[in-house]
């Protein structure tokens, strides 16, 4: 029974989603997918930055526009290109989207793809590009990276950051958010990922079932665009299971709520009312921990707000830009 529960939980979270990708592809034409880092209409010219991390990894970011910087950190299994709806703000600010470790074109160094190492990479980005008066916003795991950065590197944040945004994120272990079968399965996944990573990698590639389509679609709210679901599935497929499993333990260990009470920066927390991964209650806890935070709940939206409600996310970013 325990083995069946574990396999079902892991398949739901990881391997089963590959079926979604196949089914989505069967329902669309055969047009090649554009470069994930290029806007399809060519309206914004992107610059690419590559830099070495403190532990021998490599960090990749895309950059458009000029003026005050807005730095965007994506969620787990995604990449910098997921922010294309925010890149349109390049006529009003300098938009910088980062590939987190082991995602997109960034690679993990000796410290692995942990939240803590990603937070240190954010320091590298701010210093190498000499960014000041910056707005930083993170989606899901990217918000956890931002929270860890604020707690571990508050001196850098105080010097270089003017405001922060948390999109569909949490200040503590998100494994407490999924209920029912997923809670116990998440705990077992953490143990097996740490103790037997090779076995976990094999389980993560369990032959897919109809759960896969449900899993990808369930991260969205009431009426997602099919292209947004397909984009999410494509990004998921690109992340090797071994890298994903390397990230899992630090996500399950994440808790910065107490530390965030010392962060005086203006903050905005935004979440969908139907978010199944970081429920509105978690965003409420996050907003309550931050001394100067505003909370927005998008009615009917799910977890992928930058794709589902880009106008709400862009309005939040512009409001943060106005903060001083």
**Dihedral Cα 243, 51, 126, 106, nearest 10 deg:** -20
Rounded CA-CA distance 169/259 in Å is: 16
Place of tokens 């079926």: 19
Whether residue 12 is predicted with pLDDT greater than 70 in this model: the reply is: no
Q: Which residues contact 117 (CB under 8 A, 6 or more apart)?
A: 53, 55, 57, 101, 108, 109, 111
Place of tokens 């021998």: 56
Nearest to 315 by CA among 279, 268, 275, 283: 268
Q: Which residue has the higher pLDDT, 43 or 81?
A: 81
Nearest to 78 by CA among 231, 222, 243, 303: 231
| φ, ψ dihedrals at 172, nearest 5° | -150, 180
User: In terms of DSSP H, where are the helices of 162-239?
Assistant: 182-195, 197-203, 211-218, 226-238
What tokens appear for 255 in the block?
């808790």
Nearest to 302 by CA among 176, 218, 214, 215: 218
**Strands 94-99 and 161-167, how do they pair?**
unpaired
Q: Please report the domains of the chain, with CATH numbers, ordered by start residue.
A: 2-322 (3.40.50.1820)
User: Tell me, what's the pLDDT at 207?
Assistant: 37
Give CA separation, 151 vs 13, 145, 156, 225, in Å.
28, 10, 10, 36
DSSP code of residue 15: T
119-142 per-position pLDDT tens digit: 999 999 999 999 999 999 999 999
Task: Dihedral sign for Cα 198, 177, 104, 300, please.
Answer: positive
User: Tell me, what's the pLDDT at 190?
Assistant: 55
Whether residue 324 is predicted with pLDDT greater than 50 in this model: the reply is: yes
User: Tell me, what's the pLDDT at 55?
Assistant: 96
What tokens appear for 13 in the block?
């979270």
Rounded CA-CA distance 51/61 in Å is: 9
189-220 per-position pLDDT tens digit: 556 555 665 555 554 443 343 344 456 777 88
Q: Which residues contact 168 (CB under 8 A, 6 or more apart)?
A: 75, 139, 140, 143, 270, 271, 272, 275, 277, 278, 283, 303, 304, 305
CB atoms within 10 A of CB 292: 14
Comparing 10-14, 105-109, 260-264, 271-275, which segment has the lowest mean pLDDT? 10-14
Place of tokens 């590959």: 18
Q: Which residue has the higher pLDDT, 250 or 50?
A: 50
Task: Dihedral sign for Cα 47, 52, 53, 57, please.
Answer: positive
Place of tokens 């892991």: 10
């Amino acid at each position: 029974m325990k083995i069946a529960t574990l396999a079902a939980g892991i398949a739901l979270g990881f391997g089963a989603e590959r079926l979604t990708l196949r089914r989505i592809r069967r329902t669309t034409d055969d047009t090649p997918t554009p470069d994930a880092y290029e806007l399809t209409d060519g309206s914004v010219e992107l610059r690419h930055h590559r830099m070495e991390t403190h532990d021998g990894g490599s960090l990749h970011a895309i950059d458009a526009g000029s003026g005050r910087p807005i730095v965007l950190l994506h969620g787990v299994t995604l990449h910098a290109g997921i922010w294309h709806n925010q890149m349109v703000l390049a006529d009003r600010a300098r938009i910088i989207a980062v590939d987190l470790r082991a995602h997109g074109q960034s690679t993990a160094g000796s410290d692995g793809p942990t939240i803590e190492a990603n937070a240190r990479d954010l320091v590298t980005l701010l210093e190498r590009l000499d960014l000041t008066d910056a707005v930083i916003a993170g989606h899901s795991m990217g918000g956890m990276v931002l929270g860890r950065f604020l707690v571990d590197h508050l001196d850098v944040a105080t010097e270089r950051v003017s405001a922060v945004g948390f999109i569909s994120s949490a200040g503590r272990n998100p494994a407490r958010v999924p209920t029912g079968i997923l809670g116990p399965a998440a705990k077992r996944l953490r143990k097996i990922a740490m103790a037997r990573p090779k076995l976990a990698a094999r389980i993560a590639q369990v032959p897919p079932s109809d759960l896969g389509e449900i899993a990808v679609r369930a991260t969205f709210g009431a009426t997602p665009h099919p292209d947004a679901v397909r984009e999410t599935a494509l990004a998921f497929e690109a992340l090797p299971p071994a890298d994903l499993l390397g990230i899992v333990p630090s996500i399950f260990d994440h808790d910065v709520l107490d530390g965030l009470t010392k962060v005086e920066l203006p903050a905005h927390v935004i979440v969908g009312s139907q978010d199944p991964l970081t429920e509105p209650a978690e965003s409420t806890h996050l907003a309550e921990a931050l001394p100067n935070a505003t909370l927005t709940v998008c009615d009917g939206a799910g977890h992928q707000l930058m794709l589902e409600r880009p106008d709400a996310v862009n309005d939040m970013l512009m409001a943060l830009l106005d903060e001083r």
